[in-house]
Structure 1
Amino acid sequence: MLPLSGNSSPAEHHPKKFKSSELFDKKNAFNSLLHQFHHQQSRLWLLLVILCLQILLLFTIRFLPLPLPPALSSSTDRLRRFPSVAVVSSTANDADECRNGRIFVYDLPTAFNKDILENCDNLNPWSSSCRAMANGGFGQRADSLAGIIPENLLPSWYWTDQFVTEIIFHNRIMKHKCRVSEPGLATAFYIPFYAGLAVGKFLWTNSTVEDRDQHCRMILKWLSDQEHYKKSNGWDHFITMGRITWDFRRSKDKDWGSECIYLPGMRNITRLLIERNPWDYFDVGVPYPTGFHPRGQNDVTAWQDFVRTRRRTHLFCFAGATRAAFGNDFRAVLLDQCRNSTAEKCRVVDCAGSRCTNGTTAILETFLSSDFCLQPRGDSFTRRSIFDCMIAGAIPVFFWRRTAYYQYEWFLPSEPESYSVFIDRNAVKNGTASIEAVLERFSREEVREMRERVIESIPKLVYGTGGVRDAFDVAVDGVLRRFKEQNEWGYKWK
């Protein structure tokens, strides 16, 4: 409890008033008390109120999470050392916000992050990625959206690459309210290794398995020498891997990707990925980056109001391209149903080639003008378009449960039917289900309710600049809760 110089305890404030002989005379005790109460009722109530306030003040001070300060030599020192009420309140709030733990960020050798970014010209075999990596990973400003979105929100929109979560998380976590500079104070350890960017340049070339694995092997060797990694065997460590999980799960040398996740040192590390393996506890699915990066709550509220009141002229839409290499390509079926819809109820954006890379004005306009958006699987079970669609206030239509329901539990509503539609793809393929007919069965009120659930979810689906609780905050809070529960339950193997 903090010392209160010059103040007596509440019990000592007015002791003499209750020791008067006229109050405690045994013969006239009852009558005297009534007489005293009658004449001093107002004063007694005042004293009782003061007494209660002082007791409340003492209990409040007693339980403030502040250390006992050393003796103070002067009144000037006393003023300097004791925080004001506002600062005390802030300290208490910070402690509450970090109740699940605190984070230490490893200061890695630059070969694992900074050097990779500085070599952005060589991150893929076709063109430079430097423009995509600009602005802290947000990419170039989306100035061409002028006239499509409200002018005051234009500064919050960028042409963002889908594989930049490593950069975004690193930048944000360095400013996290629960970050500590001393590892001994941490309950979670973040590894700012750009694993996805490091392996990306080797995925479409005649690279060797050594090329694809080199950075991951290097980081695990570096971690194996770190005291806190050795102490926990990686259970309290986490990392962002900015690609889908299958890019890091090579089982055989001739297969795709690196074997990073299968390497022994990676086994117990929690991994944040834009697509997870639903059967791996250590994989956590996080949203793909979209182009909307709100600067604060005002941006989020303004955008939600915009998409809520937007006039939508089409029942449904599809933005994508066929996959000629796949037999019985389901996307081709969707394109046919969309193009053959009655009265042009479906709007199509054909993304053949690279026309839809990092989004286009046509895609955003299409999602903004449609009630529903068709979301088949992409090259893997997920696709960025899910989030582009929902950010625009359109209701996603899924054909694989693994596209969203088994991926983003921390970020999407727990009742899938409240914000999305699921249609059996086999029924669509064999012609027993018409997408248009299924979607037309929903009343305008049902559509409005589903859209509202989508709009409510928007803050948890975007990566902002730190002024609003967003997907980054949800992910980090979830990891901290997970580590806390692991410790409480003793859920660990050696």
Structure 2
Amino acid sequence: MYTLFPSIKLQISSQNCAFLTSTILLNILIFLFLNRPTPPRPLPSTQFEFPDDCEFGKVYVYDLPPILNKDLLQSCNNSAEFWSSRCNDLSNGGFGPHATGLEHIVPQNLTPAWYWTDLYAGEVIYHKRILNYKCRTLNQDQATAFYIPFYVGLSIGKYLWLNHTANDIDSHSLAMLKWVKNQDPWKKRNGSHHFIMLGRLTWDFRRITPDSDNEWGTSLLNMPLMKKVLRLTPERNVWDEMEISVPYPNPFHPRSVSDIHQWQSVLRSKNRSNLFCFVGGARKYIKHDFRDLVLTYCKNESDSCRVVDCSVFPCYEGANATIATFLDSDFCLQPKGDGFTRRATFDCMLAGAIPVFFWKGSFENQYQWHLPTNSESYSVFIDNKDVRNDSTIIRRVLEKYNRDEVKKMRETIIDFMPKFLIATSDANLGSTKDAFDIAIEGVLRKFKQQNEDALKNN
């Protein structure tokens, strides 16, 4: 008898023979299974294992020549933007330096998640995030979308404030298009299904006259090869269907979903002593500057309005004063800035304050993937013309909101807050999606729908 099972007697009855044979065979199979050779582990190469939830497809990231991104980042000291070198602003993967001075404003365990993030750092931030994106592919044939990680905002920063030629400011953009048009995915699709992140407002990339040395910005978006390229930007041209606006980067970059929940709890329990506030600076060089009007009015309403004057205080080089001001106010006044939108709008909502807009262009047809369609659920609109006629209308309008209405609007903001945050690249947010997730998924969804529509029409 086979000695692998010594407990079985040699003398067995015929009626148990079939059962015993089955048992022996079963044990042999188990033994062989447990002692089978271990299959080799997959190589920890650059290949990705894609999750099952990439329902809208995958994104391929071009490996551009360094002169179009990495070299621009490393030459940050060469920026001619008048306020400072960009190196500090763009450190820590675009998040900027770690925030300091928040010990009495933010819970201590959350302070490592706060940075002094520059409003124009989106190109660097999105590039770092997309390299670790769960639905990234290294196989061009598997991709639904193709990302061009060109730091175009950085490339023009060194020219915007000094004398330059059109060739100077367009040189990197032309180099990018010359390179990308020779790539197989571009040639197969004639430039469609490609997208780019613009770190600055769309207006900085729309110089009308190609060879003009006197007009503002680069002509990138008016170059023929850009016609089919989708653009993500902090402020979109609402008449351009190829542009999608995404929230400005703000100081809070959660490391986990618990970071988000804890900060939401802070906002729900916060007692606020000011009806409204204004964080911004007057621009004396602009005739009849509306921000100057709001600033002057707020200073005269010191019993109800708290002011941070950014023309005398460096608001974003130690923004603890701005965060504290927003945290202590029910409403925050948001006149338009360089464009219709402002980074301060998101800083304000990050602190649970309710934005007050004076131009419909500040919210209509902007951030459609990230903010509620019903603007009245989270903001107030007062026409700028009415304010020019009588600035006291601001207080009169805001005082009409009772405590329950204010609480309801704040709760709406707190609920959709994750949609305008940008988490760290290694954050574990579970099923929660941040601004980056929503933007990239939106791009993939859009391109997938285009593919499906094309198949139906053929």
Partner of 1:32: none
* Alignment partner, residue 103 of structure 1: 59
Is 1:367–1:394's contact at 8 Å kept on the other side of the alignment?
A: yes
The letter of the residue matching 1:274 is P
Equivalence for 1:478: 442
Indicate the structure with greater helix content.
Answer: 1
> Structure 1 pair 395/280, CA: closer, same or farther in 2 (3 Å)?
same
Residue equivalent to 2:79? 123
Map Cα deviations across residues 348-402 of structure 1 (whole Å, 9 max, x no partner).
1101056113561111110000000000100111111001000000000001111
**Cα contact 2:229–2:242 (8 A) shared by 1:** yes
Give the C-alpha shift of residue 269 in structure 1. 0.7
Counterpart of 1:218 in 2: which secondary structure? helix
Offset of residue 404 of structure 1: 2.2
Q: Which residue of 1 aligns with 2:365?
A: 406
| Preserved contact between residue 162 and residue 358 of structure 1 (Cα < 8 Å) | no
8 Å CA contact 2:247, 2:367 repeated in 1: yes
SS across alignment from 2:279 = strand
Q: Match of 2:229?
A: 269
Q: Paired residue for 2:412?
A: 453
Residue 100 (structure 2) pairs with residue 143 (structure 1): yes
Report the alpha carbon displacement of residue 211 of structure 1 after superposing the two structures with TM. 0.9
Give the AA of the match of 2:87. C
Match of 1:311 among 271, 284, 299: 271
Find the residue that maps to 2:260 and give its secondary structure: helix
CA separation in 2, counterparts of 1:383 and 1:213?
26
In 1, the alpha carbon distance for the partners of 2:101 and 2:455 equals 51
How far apart in 2 are the matches of 1:384 and 1:131? Answer: 19
Q: Which residue of 1 aligns with 2:251?
A: 291
Alignment of 1:419 with 2:419, yes or no, is no
Aligned counterpart, 2:9: none
Indicate how the Cα distance of structure 1 residues 322 and 82 shifts in structure 2: closer, same or farther if over 3 A, else same.
same
Q: 1:335 maps to what in 2?
A: 295
Q: State the match for 1:251 in structure 2.
A: 208
What is the CA distance between 1:340 and its match in structure 2? 2.4
Q: Give 1:442 deviation, angstroms.
A: 0.5
- Aligned-CA RMSD value: 2.1
SS where residue 449 of structure 1 aligns?
helix
Counterpart CA distance in 1 for 2:334 and 2:281 is: 12
Please give the alpha-carbon distance, in whole angstroms, between the structure 1 residues aligned to 2:346 and 2:195: 24
In structure 2, how many angstroms separate the alpha carbons of the residues matched to 1:165 and 1:77? 53
1:207 aligns with 2:168: no
Contact 1:161-1:358 within 8 A present in 2 as well? no
Q: Which runs of 5+ in 1 are unaligned?
A: 1-73, 84-90
The equivalent residue for 2:16 is none
SS at match of 2:88: helix
CA contact (8 A) 1:139 1:159 kept: yes
- How many Å separate the matches in 2 of 1:215 and 1:423? 42
C-alpha distance in structure 1 between counterparts of 2:298 and 2:85, whole Å? 35
State the percentage of identical aligned residues.
49
Residues 125 and 348 of structure 1: CA distance in aligned 2, closer, same or farther (over 3 Å): closer
Give secondary structure in 2 for the equivalent of 1:437.
Answer: helix
Cα distance in structure 1, aligned partners of 2:360 and 2:37: 61
Aligned position for 2:334: 375
**1:125, distance to aligned residue in structure 2 (A):** 4.2
Asked if 2 retains the 8 angstrom alpha-carbon contact of 1:337 and 1:435, the reply is no
For structure 2, which runs of at least 5 residues remain unmatched after alignment?
1-31, 42-48
CA distance in 1, matches of 2:300, 2:327: 21
Asked if the contact 1:203/1:256 (under 8 Å) is kept, the reply is yes
Q: Kindly report which structure 2 residues correspond to 1:37-76, keeping only aligned pairs within 5 A, or say none.
A: 75=33
Structure 1 pair 433/354, CA: closer, same or farther in 2 (3 Å)? closer
Q: Deviations for 1:406-454, whole angstroms, at most 9, x for unmatched residues?
A: 2111111111000000011101111186100000000100000000011
Aligned residue for 1:56? none
Aligned pair 1:350/2:309, yes or no? yes
Contact 2:93–2:125 (8 Å) recurs in 1: yes
| Residues 220-249 of structure 1: CA deviation (Å, up to 9, x unaligned) | 010110111011122211111100000000
Larger Rg over CA atoms: 1
For 2:243 and 2:284, how far apart are their aligned partners in 1?
A: 31
